[in-house]
């Protein structure tokens, strides 16, 4: 089964076992549809049932089953939270998990290989593809209208139009 990292416990919250979580998803409200998460810690993984969720600024405050004191919550600080990919439901058309895009081979519209997608990060206004190229610096391509022509997750292939001015670097 494929798992996706969806967030990280960054701190405790209050005295009754709640924790502060930074969501790594585009839609933090997706946590409301989850029954549980897997907490990955230094000494193993543990399934944590979600009891309650509140929102605080850019974070979530989550109460997990069986974690009822601040001392118990402390043990989960810095734990990365994962879920089975199928627990998140279907994605809208032309929306992809970053984990599925990483390591795809990127081609230009003429079929020429550009490189391998190394990372995707957000600038706030748009995402940027970090493409690792053989013998050259990485190419950073802003994902704006008209850039991505085709994404084939099954065959690990992405076709893009490189914006003018980025071609030779």
Arithmetic mean of pLDDT, 118-135: 89
Question: Which helix (H) or strand (E) is 158 found in, with range?
Answer: strand 157-160
Question: Which helix (H) or strand (E) is 143 found in, with range?
Answer: strand 139-143
Instruction: Decide: 98 and 120 in contact? Cβ < 8 Å.
Output: yes
Q: State the Cα–Cα distance between residues 64 and 47, nearest whole angstrom.
A: 10
The pLDDT of residue 146 is 86
Say yes or no to pLDDT of 58 above 90: no
Question: For residue range 129-141, what is the model confidence (pLDDT) as tens digits?
Answer: 999 999 999 999 9
Residue 39 dihedral angles phi and psi, to the nearest 5°: -90, 120
46 bridge partner residues: 39
Q: State the Cα–Cα distance between residues 8 and 30, nearest whole angstrom.
A: 15
Question: For residue range 5-32, what is the model confidence (pLDDT) as tens digits?
Answer: 999 999 999 999 999 999 988 788 889 9
């Amino acid at each position: 089964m494929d798992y996706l990292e969806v967030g990280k416990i960054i701190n405790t919250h209050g005295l009754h076992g709640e924790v502060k979580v930074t969501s790594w998803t585009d839609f933090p409200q997706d946590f409301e549809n989850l029954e549980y998460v897997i907490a990955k810690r230094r000494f193993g993984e543990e399934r944590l049932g979600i009891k309650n969720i509140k929102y605080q600024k850019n974070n979530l405050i989550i109460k997990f089953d069986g974690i009822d004191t601040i001392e118990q919550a402390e043990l989960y600080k810095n734990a990365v939270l994962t879920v089975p990919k199928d627990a998140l439901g279907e994605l809208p058309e032309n929306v992809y998990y970053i984990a599925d895009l990483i390591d795809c081979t990127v081609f230009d519209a003429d079929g020429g290989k550009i490189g391998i997608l190394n990372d995707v990060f957000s600038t706030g206004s748009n995402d940027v593809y970090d493409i690792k190229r053989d013998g050259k610096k990485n190419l950073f391509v802003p994902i704006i209208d008209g850039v991505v022509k085709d994404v084939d997750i099954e065959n690990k292939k992405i076709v893009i139009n490189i914006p003018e001015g980025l071609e030779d670097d």
